[in-house]
Structure 1
Amino acid sequence: MHAPQPDLTRLIRASRDPAALVSHQEFSRRVRSGDYERLRRGVAREAPVPLSSVDRFDRVAHARLRYLDVVAAVGETRRGQVVFAGQAALAIWDLATIGSRPTSVEILEPPGSARRSKRGVIVHRMPFMDDEILPWGDHFVTSPARTIADLARSGDFTATVVALDHALSRRATSEQRVSKDEVYELLDRYASTRGLARARAAVEFADGRSGSGGESLSRVDIYQLGFELPELQVRHSHPGGYYDADFEWPATAQRPPTIGEFDGLMKYLDARLRNGADAAQVVVAEKVREDFLRAEGNGFLRWGWEEARKPVLLLRPRLLRAGIRIVRRPMI
């Protein structure tokens, strides 16, 4: 396995050498003028445009690349080799994550290290073995399995499920793909770590059938709200092929089988995801699909990012109106 290598072409380094492309004086002047954005001492990039002005469908990718610039700048200014971990490793491997990118960069150090967290670099002192890290430029990055195991140990249930769902799924590249057994092995390798039971629970909950980060977040919401859990990607055959339902709850005495769909707007508005169809054609095709599934006798409900990000306020009422039962004590 090989880690994606850093792109250092966007970084601008100051130099006290008068013959350098960017002298120390010129570097400082252009930072003061706003032409450059300083990332670390002596390292900058061309000042980027605000993310709000980037096409909405490119913002996630742009935010990742901008964060990777910060990670690379840390690598350029550290003395000796470091191991990038946590959110930095998630960004390097391009594993799914929810929410904005952090401003800090996490690195992994052995327990006896004297390095301390400062100036936007967070140091985690934990044991690691050679098979848990891979080269990244002149430095190293935790493997996908170790990255997810660390995330699970941190206690962030949602982030762990979102990242591991991706790594288990057909969406994953060969470099991103991991198995649950790999993550369990790494958790058990350092079994004295506090929070092991919660970490293993997050790994157990992950499911590679999840079709997107939004579906993964929604499934965690459903679980934490205390609702009965649905089946994923249930296949419904029709004369032209089949439809897969994102979520499906079986029938009860009080309600018919109920299909739930997470609808991000990208499949309607981003031309790159429409396979040559225009937005109107995609809307019509989705209406035909829903009509077919309803005609089978299924209930049907939809939600999007707003509901998934505000589950108590917005998603919970939709599920209740659809007759989905609360079967355990809510966690949120």
Structure 2
Amino acid sequence: MRGLRVRPMRGEVGDSPWGKAATPADALVQMAMDHGIEAGVVSADDALRREKVTQDELKGAVERVENWPDAHKARSMLALCSGLRESVGESRCGIALELAGIRVTPQVEIKDAFGKLVGRVDFLVEGTKVIVEFDGKVKFESGNPEVLWAEKTREDRLRRLGYTVVRLTWADLERPGAVAAKVQAAIRDAA
């Protein structure tokens, strides 16, 4: 088959309906080592979020390849992955921010003075009132005015609470340096 690569199994072997296969954790480690940190983190975030793998299983898989070529990619994947990010776009945002030294907490609930939920935000920059939101096309693509109005109202309420909102798109993610600069500018302006 064109494009198919076959090689000896790395790490632990589990059972599948089709026979022996890499465990999910080992497959994710292989993904990072073979295809890069971003591919590994995006895949690990999804597997963690859907509870297909645990952080401990990933840690064990990374330890098994400690002295292998490209093991540094697996270690980086482990350090950067989180089961809290809900999409590929959020995963890529998280990677760009963390690699730029901007510490963020994903999926933070923001409440008003009465304890009423205003919204759950994609990221809150630690130690600040700067929110980072990833805008994929799905939410806005329909053109449904009610969806757009709800998002605008939510953002207005967040701003009234003193938060600064930085919105990132797929185009922004193609320039990680620009992502960092945009968020760092918001942090400076909010201080």
Give the TM-score band, short-chain normalised: 0.7 to 0.9
**2:165 aligns to what SS in structure 1?**
strand
Native 8 Å contact 1:155 1:199 kept in 2: no
Tell me which residue corresponds to 1:223. Answer: 98
Residue segments in structure 2 that go unaligned for 5+ positions in a row? none
C-alpha displacement of 1:150: 1.0
Tell me which residue corresponds to 1:168. Answer: 48
Calculate the aligned-residue CA RMSD, in Å.
2.6
C-alpha displacement of 1:159: 1.0
Q: Deviations over 1:145-182 (max 9, x none)?
A: 2210212333711111111111111xx2x6xx100111
In structure 2, what residue type is equivalent to 1:308? L
Residue segments in structure 1 that go unaligned for 5+ positions in a row? 1-73, 75-118, 271-277, 326-332
Inter-CA distance 218–261: structure 2 relative to 1 (3 Å threshold) = same
Rg comparison, structure with higher value: 1
Tell me which residue corresponds to 1:244. Answer: 120
Structure with bigger helix share is 2
Native 8 Å contact 2:11 2:65 kept in 1: no
TM-score (norm 1): 0.51
- Hey, what's the Cα distance between the residues in 2 that align with 1:191 and 1:282? 47
Native 8 Å contact 2:98 2:104 kept in 1: no
Among 151, 154, 157, the alignment partner of 1:292 is 157
Inter-CA distance 184–288: structure 2 relative to 1 (3 Å threshold) = same
Quick one: percent identity of the two aligned structures?
27
C-alpha displacement of 1:315: 2.1
Native 8 Å contact 1:308 1:315 kept in 2: yes
**2:123 aligns to what SS in structure 1?**
strand
Among 8, 16, 35, the alignment partner of 1:134 is 16
Native 8 Å contact 1:258 1:298 kept in 2: yes
Matched residues, number: 187
**2:17 aligns to what SS in structure 1?**
strand
C-alpha displacement of 1:211: 1.7
Q: Deviations over 1:71-101 (max 9, x none)?
A: xxx5xxxxxxxxxxxxxxxxxxxxxxxxxxx
- Hey, what's the Cα distance between the residues in 2 that align with 1:134 and 1:148? 16
Tell me which residue corresponds to 1:202. Answer: 77
Inter-CA distance 191–230: structure 2 relative to 1 (3 Å threshold) = closer
**1:123 aligns to what SS in structure 2?**
coil
- Hey, what's the Cα distance between the residues in 1 that align with 2:172 and 2:122? 16
In the alignment, is residue 309 of structure 1 matched against residue 184 of structure 2? no
Inter-CA distance 265–129: structure 2 relative to 1 (3 Å threshold) = closer
Q: Which has the higher contact order (CA 8 A, sep 6+)?
A: 2
Tell me which residue corresponds to 2:7. Answer: 124
